[in-house]
Amino acid sequence: MQVPETFDYERVATVEEALQRLSHHGDEARLIAGGHSLLPMMKLRLALPEVLIDINDVPGLDHVRVVAGGEGGGGGEDEIAIGALVRHAAILTDPILGEHWPIFADAERKIADPLVRNRGTIGGSVCQADPAEDLSAVITALRGSVVVQSADGRRTVPIREFHTGPWETVVGDGEMVVEVRVPIRTSVGSAYEKVERRVGDWAVAAAGTFLRMDGNTIAEAGIGLAAVGATHMTCPEAEESLVGGPADADAFATAAGIVSAAVDPTADQRGPVDYKRHLAGELTRRALARSADRARDDSLREDA
C-alpha cells in the first residue's frame, strides 16, 4: 500500500490566507489543488512536505477570461488569463481558448485521461515543472507568462524564464502562482502533436507550435517541446528560421531539422535518443503544418 509520509493539513479560503500560511511554514509547506502530481510524488517519498495547504476552496482562481492590455500586471496586449485552479477538463472545452488557441484542446485531449483531467489544474502543471509536461510546452510555444503573487504583490514571469530546471521554478517561499497568461493574436494558427505509448502516459516526445501570418509570410512563430530535453522547452533557432518566409513544406522541414539537432533527449523505456530526436523534429513539422492550415482558416474567418 502506497501512502504518503505523515503531514499536517490546512485548508485556506483566500489567496491572502494561503500566502500567509506559506510564509509561516516556509519551505516545509506545499500547496495542493488537484494533487495528481504531488500526491504520487509523496507516495514515493520524492516529496516530503510537512504541511499541505489545500487551496481548492479559494475563490477567484478558476476563471478563463480575456483581459485588456496591461490589466493586472500583464503586458501591453490583450491576453487570456487562466486562473491557477482551472482544471484540465475545463481547458479542454473552454470556448475562449478554443476560439483563439486550439493548441490547448489538442494537448488536453492527450493529457492523462478524463478522470485525471477532472482534478489536475494548470497551476499545478506549470509548478510541477516536469520536463515532459504538456501545458508548459503549450504556454512556452505561445510565449505566455505566469503570474506569481506574494504578500508584496504580483509579478509576471515569462514562461521561458519560469522553469529553472527539472522540477524547479522561480516561485519562492511565501509565493504562489495565481494565473497563467497567454497573448491574443489575429491571423494565427496553433497545434499540438504528441506521441505517447498509451493513454495517460507521459509523452515520448511532443511539440506545440503557432504561426502568425502576414499575408503569405510568417510574421511570428512559436515552438514548445516536451520530453526531449529542449532548453526552456523551446528552440529559438528554429522559430527564427521560420519568420519572414513562406509557410510551406520546405520551411517546416528546415525548422524540424533544427529542432532535431538542438534537442537533447534521454534514452529510457520510452525510446532511444535517435528515435526521440527524430520524433521531436517530425512532430514539430506536423504541428507547423496544422498551424498553417488553421492560420489560413483564421484569416478567412477574419475576412468574412
Partner 1 sequence: MATTMDVTMTVNGTEVTREVEPRTLLVHFVRDQLGLTGTHWACDTTNCGACTLWVDGEPVKSCTVLAVMADGHEVRTVEDLDTGGELNPLQQGFMQEHGLQCGFCTPGMLMTGQWLLDRDPDPDEATIREAISGNLCRCTGYENIVRAVRWAAEHGDGTAAGDDASADDHATDEVTA
The residues binding partner 1 (CB under 8 A) are 1-9, 11, 32, 35-36, 39-40, 43, 50, 52, 54, 56, 89, 112-116, 118-119, 199-200
CB of 257 to partner 1, least distance (A): 34
Of the pair 38, 141, the CB lying nearest partner 1 is at 38
Closer of 201 and 220 to partner 1 (Cβ): 201
Integer-rounded Cα Rg, in Å, for the chain is 19
Closest listed residue to residue 169, CA positions, set 151, 153, 147 = 147
Residue 271 to residue 137: CA distance in whole angstroms: 20
- Give 94 or 282: the residue with its C-beta nearer to partner 1: 94
Smaller CB distance to partner 1: residue 43 or 278?
43
In Å, what is the CA distance from 50 to each residue of 15, 19, 28, 74, 109? 20, 16, 5, 34, 34
35 vs 131 by CB, closer to partner 1: 35
Instruction: Return the half-sphere exposure (C-beta side, CA atoms, 13 A cut-off) of residue 158.
Output: 10
Q: How far is the CB of 64 from partner 1 (least distance, A)?
A: 18
Closest CA to 220 of 191, 179, 186, 248: 186
Query: 40 vs 272, which CB is nearer to partner 1?
Result: 40
Question: How crowded is residue 109: how many other Cβ atoms within 10 Å of its Cβ?
Answer: 12
Alpha-carbon distances of 168 from 42, 130, 249, 272, rounded to whole Å: 16, 8, 37, 25
Query: H/E element holding 175?
Result: strand 175-183
From CA 289, how far away is CA 296, in angstroms rounded? 11
Shortest distance in whole angstroms from residue 239 CB to partner 1: 33
- Nearest C-alpha neighbor of 267 from the set 176, 188, 205, 223: 205
Cβ proximity to partner 1: between 9 and 250 the closer is 9
User: How far apart are CB 28 and partner 1 at their closest, in Å?
Assistant: 11
CB of 61 to partner 1, least distance (A): 16
